[in-house]
Amino acid sequence: MKPKLNLTIFLLACSFVGCGSKPPAEVQAPTPQSPPAIAGEVLASNQGIVQLNRPQGWTNQLTKADTLNLKMANASGDAHLTLQTRAKKDLPQLSLEKFAKLGREAGLQSMTDLKITGPTDVALVNGYPAIQYQFEGKVEGADTVLLHTAIESQNYFHQILAGSSRFGFARHQDPLQKIIQTFQEQPPPPSEE
């Protein structure tokens, strides 16, 4: 099951292309929130743009070949989470809603018997505007459930894909939502003058 779920998350994360219409509204950095929703080691992206808390027992799965910013899995390998960041300047005229729609369209291409529900009640992720959908379908015949969360910050769009097998999803859903809520964009390094 682990390779099939990893393949789905990778295909969804890598399938975004730009499109758009009207200019998006300006997004401000959120006020720092209370302590993270789940304790764990901070896992920061190699680019220094974003971070998530990685719970105890979860491992970093990012390889040099990955185009993702973050990738982690639980110890048994039956729950996974990936995060991909795209600069808004590379996606001109794109709104959060359209960015989320791109993710839904990618889900239609990479999963069979796909049922998309949502948006869920998640409208903010640690203070950032967000839209979340749930994908339920088959990946190479295996029943899979994914939470697709699109997040907007001032300069970036972020996509988090988190899920597991359909049979394990009820057990993993709450911890996955808590990990998602630890999302944080890093401030840019101070400029040297």
Partners of 180 in beta bridges: none
CA separation, residue 109 to residues 16, 83, 104, 157, 165 (Å): 12, 19, 9, 21, 19
Encode pLDDT of 35-71 as tens digits: 455 677 888 888 889 999 999 999 999 887 777 789 9
Q: pLDDT higher for 107 or 166?
A: 166
> Do the domain assignments include residue 34?
no
> Do the domain assignments include residue 44?
yes
| pLDDT score, position 168 | 95
CA separation, residue 69 to residues 8, 83, 115 (Å): 16, 6, 27
CATH code of the domain in which 115 resides: 3.40.1000.10
- Which burial class, exposed, middle or buried, applies to 13 when counting CB atoms under 10 A from its CB (0-12, 13-18, 19+)? buried
> Do the domain assignments include residue 25?
no
- Pairing outcome for strands 128-139 and 142-152: antiparallel
| pLDDT score, position 25 | 56
> Do the domain assignments include residue 27?
no
| pLDDT score, position 37 | 57
Report residue 20's pLDDT band, with 50, 70 and 90 as the boundaries.
very low
Question: Could you give the number of structural domains in the chain?
Answer: 1
CA separation, residue 169 to residues 12, 13, 40, 173 (Å): 18, 20, 21, 6
**pTM of the entire structure?**
0.81
> Do the domain assignments include residue 191?
no
| pLDDT score, position 30 | 60
> Do the domain assignments include residue 154?
yes
| pLDDT score, position 109 | 84
> Do the domain assignments include residue 31?
no
Encode pLDDT of 73-104 as tens digits: 999 999 999 999 999 999 888 999 999 998 88
Identity of the residue numbered 179? I
Encode pLDDT of 171-180 as tens digits: 999 999 999 9
| pLDDT score, position 124 | 95
> Do the domain assignments include residue 136?
yes
Share of the chain above pLDDT 70, in %: 77
How many beta carbons lie within 10 A of that of residue 171, not counting itself?
Answer: 12
Nearest alpha carbon to residue 68 among 104, 110, 14, 111: 14
In terms of residue numbers, what domain contains 157? 2-15+39-185
